[in-house]
Structure 1
């Protein structure tokens, strides 16, 4: 019998053992990706591979680790087998790795000949081979044009690293020494977990430790089901878009557009994430294999729905059904290219899960505190860089400057500025000095960029601007940009909040850098070319990038003018942005800005009139009625049926069985209206930001990004 005190002691001990493994890996790593930015994670798994303990670093790397273990159990039980002291390495995204640069090492944990657990680690390697340094080939036609995937191979046998396998693994890489250190770090981290778990079994008994793992899985599943039962049933939708230029595209031909479509249905104590309507897979690197889909879908559920619950992916998996269709951009069929999935399709998957869970949570008072807009997504400023140092040695890696985008606004406050990915809570960008120590580069600047946070009653966090040049070598640096979020924004707002700002990437003459200081969102057009598969940064050039802002929450013109003024004083919003995005008139000198209260009131009244073409109806003072459908809508009984009404003015909008979005006032706005520094990329005109207003009081109830001319999306459906 496992008593509660022992359970709590061992639960926390297992979590500490797993976190210690991540620290070991980071300390032994030779790459700034792991040592500084923590692009890694570690897990402890049950004997069948279900993930019980996971680190707080890159969550999207660990959910599918059980698929790796199951592949080993299914394929290798007899030949070559697995036993005490063995470890297996893989980077196969069709087996369970996130993508080829994320190398997974797993190890069984035996006690007296009995398998009691598995442990594992994953780390993003600087280079794992393939045609393009950095391990990602933008214009790959299939996985055969990418870094070669390696199925699980026993690299440690009876406690010793197999030199033949290690040599074969390292021979693929241009950064073999860094990869060797990461590999040693992963092996040692797993060995430490194994020894400490064996120590727990010696002290408490293997049966007790196994019972703790089982109870964590069972209780997490039960707690999540209980939470879902407390939420009204419903169905919610979101669409995210990707741009990609496949190999062989004609010069001047616009990027192809791919849509990730999610329909999320909650019934009783189960959640279904249905991606089957997503577009067919691309002839290139942006596709996600099924393990990547599972990683970002379940990882998103952990972050956005499981606050206050144990983070036990193996307990969440039975509650959440991920539906997909092989051959789509979210579930690619072999041999589709997938190496760039984490910066493309996977980001669209995460944003879609975030948006739908946010819609679901705003339907009940009990969980409003958990509502969160989307954080940044990977953008054009993310990518790999490579070249040759002055001594002739090669370098290939990522700067991770991209992990400086804004966090999403929450029900209780603004998003965190330049905070990075919500689903990577322990990861961060490397310090400027660290990147300059590892790479032949010099940073001209890194600063938070105003007006990039998504406007709302609560503002999304702002992103950052980076500018760097080649330093200490005559050879140019080549960058391969991920190329996303340039033509349209990706980080969705919630409850009527706006999207965060787009990303930006460009190679400019160094002399043009000073002129950027005077540019702002909404300025006169600054036409920029879409990045090619490689961009060369030579002497006299500067690589400029902007990370995306986080989404906002709530109607922007309901934000307190005093809060907008604080943002202006802090350099997070410009006076022009206050006028454009929040309808707040800021006057006075830049050193002493003030709000003109009367002009602001008149401006906000005028904006409401513009939204619906007439004077808005007065707000209701009677409070909310019926069942809460969203932050701004109620489902009100009407005889034997029901109607959807505005929560602010109590005006009936449509019948309860109708699509409410088709009965709201719709206004489209060009995506370039808030583009950072006024940047304009060709193809952006194909997208629009669609705003939905109450036809009576003009409250902004929803904001969507769609292709121009697309039909209205039924984002909320009553079951």
Structure 2
């Protein structure tokens, strides 16, 4: 029996191994999306079934489920003789979304870690490559109807054999992607992160002994499952229902529904997606691994005390997704899978459980990664480029405080690359980059503000593509709070403004010097009745430019003069009457 101190030290040591892999990956990578935005993750996975042992604290939460699923599929394919068996020093590369992935741009490496000639565990990481080929630069094809249009799809193959890169496989990859000369920097960074993991994990095992660490891993998994069941016991039986909407699939301009019923069944918590929309024509399908991982990460948001371990998710059961757009199979396109649909799944979980757990669950966050890709030729440098921009948005208000302004996406902790880096590496100028005033949903605790930026092409010709969401429906408010402002994209070409047909999804838009793309990301949903917001807090919002005086009266029923702020009875009566009428015809019916 391990003593608690040793168990805690080993748990921290395993996470430290992953943290150092994350740090190595970001520091060595060439692409700003990895080096600056940290769109990557590293982890340790069980040799028998690929179950998650540890993941870095700085890794993307959405990869918690997908990487363990992907590692398990790799182990199964090796056992079945489909994939070549490993040897020391081998590293597999895979980005096939149907084999435990997300979209094609998330490229995974997996390396067996040996002790005494046997595989002790697997080390794996995922990094977002700025391009993997396909119809448009950056891979975010908003109107793709098959996965082949989205880029190069790789089954698990050995990119490194006994520590040496297979040049033939690497040449095949480079022959199918844009700006291929830059990929070697990301490839070597990804491999270097795994090498650092090997060194640090070996040192941990040498210090405490293989048997002790193995026993600690098993005990941590058991305790994680027990802890999750204790949290589940605090949730009323249900069912707790919700609906979240995806604007469109990029091809058919109609919303897609995610219908969810959450029920406590004994020690388990069942998430039933029966009734969700069928598979769609465009790229907003989600593969099963991403759907499962989205539920897991939503539960981690609600119960942040949970350890990052496969055991924590054993009591979580997902059903009803078969035959819907939440269980994509070849050849369905999936570029919006992890970046957008996953966040709508998490939003459905929040909306379903906010009444049951009002002190833990927030109103909906912005819920889009703001995927914007620009590809072209820079005549000044004489080279091609692919620029990938992600962006933040407002967090939802909660029982304790207002939502965070310009926070990272629900699925990760990636930050937007600094505009100074983007302007240095690409022929663009950011005309402005600021908070989107007034975008947070009104509430007792209002939603956080989104982001407002505009990018201008300075030279050469380029093509712009974006796959975003929440342009038709803003992030949902909770417990009487108002929805946050929806996403908004405006393209200015030759002096004329255009709004895409699918609002925040479009591809292959030709840009000339001076043309611009403006993105206004969503604000978070409001929490609680806006009429109960502290008038002093409303006055502070107005003072800081978050709302105008007129908006303060219209949203919160508060009048501001030179005297202390006070509730306006007439505005309050009007707002309550409007809300009563609106309840008979809700926006998201």
Supply the distance in 2 between the matched residues of 1:275 and 1:117 (Cα, whole angstroms).
33
TM score, norm. by length of structure 1: 0.77
**C-alpha displacement of 1:497:** 1.5
Aligned pair partner of 2:304 in 303, 307, 310? 307
TM superposition shift of 1:41: 0.8
- In structure 1, how many angstroms separate the alpha carbons of the residues matched to 2:565 and 2:313? 53
Number of the residue aligned with 1:396 = 386
Deviations 1:146-176 (A, max 9, x none): 2131111111222222222222223221122
* Residue 377 in structure 1 maps to residue 373 in structure 2: no
Superposed counterparts of 1:350-369, under 5 Å: 350-362=346-358, 368=359
In 2: Cα distance, 1:34 partner to 1:231 partner: 38
Q: TM-score, normalised by structure 2?
A: 0.94
* Aligned equivalent of 2:473: 488
SS of the aligned residue for 1:59 comes to coil
| 1:642 corresponding residue in structure 2 | none
Instruction: State the partner residue of 1:569.
Output: 543
Asked whether the equivalents of residues 45 and 71 of structure 2 are also in contact (C-alpha less than 8 Å), the reply is no
Aligned partner (choices 152, 165, 172) of residue 168 of structure 1:
172
Which 5+ residue runs of structure 2 have no aligned equivalent? none
* C-alpha distance in structure 2 between counterparts of 1:2 and 1:164, whole Å: 48
- The answer to whether the Cα contact below 8 Å between 1:136 and 1:147 also exists between their aligned partners in 2 is no
Q: Distance in 1 between matches of 2:173 and 2:74?
A: 18
Which of 416, 420, 429 aligns to 1:442? It is 429
Q: Which moved more, 1:551-560 or 1:52-61?
A: 52-61
Instruction: State how far apart, in whole Å, the 1-side matches of 2:557 and 2:522 are.
Output: 22
Alignment partner, residue 445 of structure 2:
458
- Give the match's secondary structure for 1:256: coil
Question: Displacement of 1:246 after TM fit?
Answer: 5.5
User: Cα distance 1:384–1:509, how it changes in 2: closer, same or farther (>3 A)?
Assistant: closer
CA shift, 1:576, in A, is: 2.4
Q: Is 1:149 the counterpart of 2:123 in the alignment?
A: no
Report the Cα offset of residue 70 of structure 1: 1.7
Residue pairs, 1:592-603, within 5 angstroms: 596-597=565-566, 600-603=568-571
Following the alignment from structure 2 to structure 1, what is the Cα–Cα distance between the partners of residues 494 and 540?
A: 33
Structure whose CA Rg is larger: 1
Distance 1:261 1:8 in 2: 39
Hey, what does 1:132 align to over in structure 2?
136
CA distance, structure 2, for counterparts of residue 200 and residue 343 of structure 1: 35
Matches within 5 A, 1:546-557: 546-557=520-531
Residue 287 of structure 2: aligned partner:
289
Alpha carbons of structure 1 residues 470 and 606: separation in structure 2 relative to 1, 3 Å: closer
How far apart, CA to CA, are the structure 1 residues paired with 2:446 and 2:378?
A: 42
Does the CA contact (< 8 Å) of 1:375 and 1:420 recur in 2?
A: no
Deviation at 1:359, TM superposition (A): 2.8
- Aligned-residue offset at 1:609: 4.7
Q: Aligned in 2, Cα 1:667/1:576: closer, same or farther, shift over 3 Å?
A: farther
Structure 1 residue 396, shift from structure 2 partner: 1.4
Per the alignment, residue 60 of structure 1 pairs with: 62
Cα 1:575–1:68, aligned 2, differ >3 Å: closer, same or farther?
same
Q: Secondary structure at the match of 2:355?
A: helix
Distance 1:607 1:285, change over 3 A: closer
For 2:257 and 2:208, locate their aligned partners in 1 and report how far apart those are by CA, in whole Å.
52
Cα displacement (A) at 1:605: 3.6
Would you say 1:241 and 2:245 are equivalent positions?
Answer: yes
Whether the 8 Å CA contact 2:143–2:506 is kept in 1: the answer is no
Q: 1:33 to 1:372 in 2, by over 3 A?
A: same
Distance in 2 between the 1:580 and 1:117 partners? 58
In structure 1, what is the equivalent of residue 91 of structure 2?
Answer: 87
Separation (CA, whole Å) in 2 of partners of 1:280 and 1:433: 43
Question: What does 1:194-209 align with in structure 2 at a 5 Å threshold?
Answer: 194-209=198-213
- Shift in Å at residue 606 of structure 1? 4.0
In the alignment, the residues of structure 2 paired with residue 419 and residue 510 of structure 1 have an alpha-carbon distance, to the nearest angstrom, of 33
Q: 1:574 to 1:533 in 2, by over 3 A?
A: same
Is the Cα–Cα contact under 8 Å of residues 469 and 537 in structure 1 kept in the other structure? no
Q: CA deviation at 1:422?
A: 3.6
Q: How many Å apart are 1:382 and its aligned residue? A: 3.1
Counterpart for residue 680 of structure 1:
none
Which residues of structure 1 form unaligned runs of 5+?
250-254, 363-367, 514-525, 589-593, 614-664, 669-689, 691-704, 711-719
| Aligned partners of 1:54 and 1:311 also within 8 Å | yes
How many correspondences in the alignment?
582
Aligned to 1:498: 482
Q: Matched residues in 2 for 1:267 and 1:348: separation? A: 24
Partner residue of 1:415? 403
Shift of 1:608: 2.9
Secondary structure of 2:367's counterpart equals coil
| Corresponding position of 2:464 | 479
When residues 122 and 441 of structure 1 are mapped into structure 2, their CA distance, relative to the original with a 3 A threshold, is same
